């Protein structure tokens, strides 16, 4: 599955053929892409998902060593779209996001 929206939809536990939450997911996805852009990751002009047509290679280009981006976008989208009610789980996701931000920034700076 190469579509960004379909990948994240599946990771959120939503079937590929159910698009009832797409507007909410897309808003959260684009917020995650905005965060990555501010970290200097991805296209310098930013990146926006509008439907199922945008694929990971549109964002990643030919770079293959930034797969942590998929995890980052999923976790960020999850917190915005469907945050867990358990505070410990939210804190755990926040720690994962912080670590991914650091690792992706370091990786991006050393591969450029």
- Tell me how far apart the terminal alpha carbons of the chain are, to the nearest angstrom: 27
**How many residues in the chain?**
112
pLDDT for 55 equals 94
What is the distance between the alpha carbons of residues 68 and 49, in angstroms, rounded to a whole number?
A: 18
What's the chain's average pLDDT? Answer: 92
What is the per-residue pLDDT across 43-94, written as a single tens digit (0 to 9) for each?
989 999 999 999 999 998 877 666 889 999 999 999 999 999 999 999 999 9
d(CA 79, CA 107): 24
102 token code pair: 């650091």
Q: What is the pTM of this model?
A: 0.91
For the record, the structure tokens of 78 come out as: 């999850």
């Amino acid at each position: 599955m190469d579509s960004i929206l379909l990948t994240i939809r599946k990771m959120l536990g939503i079937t590929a053929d159910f698009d009832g939450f797409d507007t909410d997911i897309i808003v959260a996805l684009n917020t995650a892409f905005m965060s990555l852009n501010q970290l200097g990751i991805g296209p310098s002009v930013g990146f926006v998902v509008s439907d199922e047509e945008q694929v990971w290679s549109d964002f990643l280009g030919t770079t293959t060593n930034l797969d942590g981006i998929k995890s980052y976008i999923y976790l960020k989208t999850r917190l915005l779209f469907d945050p867990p009610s358990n505070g410990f789980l939210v804190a755990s996701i926040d720690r994962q996001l912080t670590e991914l931000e650091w690792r992706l920034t370091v990786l991006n700076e050393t591969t450029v």
